[in-house]
Amino acid sequence: MRLGLISDTHDNVPMIKEAIRRLNGLDASLVLHAGDYISPFTAKPYSELKAKMIGVLGNNCAERERLREVYAAVGKEIVGNFAEVEVAGRRIALLHGHEDALLRSLITHGCYDVVVHGHDHKVKVEKRGSTLVVNPGEVCGYVSGRSSFGILDTDRLEVDIHDL
């Protein structure tokens, strides 16, 4: 199964639209969003995303309940600060990553096959013990100058990073 991994979209609607177009073209069955949508107006483009989406909130998401409502209205789910997802026999932790102690704990305790996070806007794919740790980078491109997303192959437990 192919999962799309995105984070830190930060209101950049043109890049959000491009990420959605690319994810649709890659036939992602599920998209995991690691937070920092920022404003509710960003929900509309996600109506074009063919895959189911599960997301978490980030540290810059002020209108938390409104974000959940408008994303639900386009068929996408924002569950809160943390999501535990089981897909194709893989346990995946999804969080924004701004709570350092929580992120470290999820990685080091080995309870998850994959930990997906964002927050620092830096692409990272690394194995820590039995856990694959993935930060797909930032869709917005504001901090690093690089807009990216990831595709996780749950069978091979490998991630490909795609630049936008």
Q: What is the pTM of this model?
A: 0.96
Share of the chain above pLDDT 90, in %: 95
Rounded CA separation 101/109 (Å): 12
Give per-residue pLDDT as tens, 88-145: 999 999 999 999 999 999 999 989 999 999 999 999 999 999 999 999 999 999 999 9
Pull the structure tokens for residue 40.
Answer: 């509710």
Q: What range does the domain containing 57 cover?
A: 2-163
- Output the pLDDT for position 60: 79
Q: Of residues 44 and 64, which shows the higher confidence score?
A: 44
Rounded CA separation 134/131 (Å): 10
Q: Max CA-CA distance within the chain?
A: 40
- Output the pLDDT for position 62: 77
pLDDT band, very low/low/confident/very high, at 59 (cuts 50, 70, 90): confident
Rounded CA separation 87/85 (Å): 6
Which CATH number belongs to the domain containing residue 84 in this structure?
3.60.21.10
Say if residues 151 and 2 touch (Cβ distance below 8 Å): yes
How many domains, in total, are found in the chain?
A: 1
Helix (H, G, I), strand (E, B) or coil at 4: strand
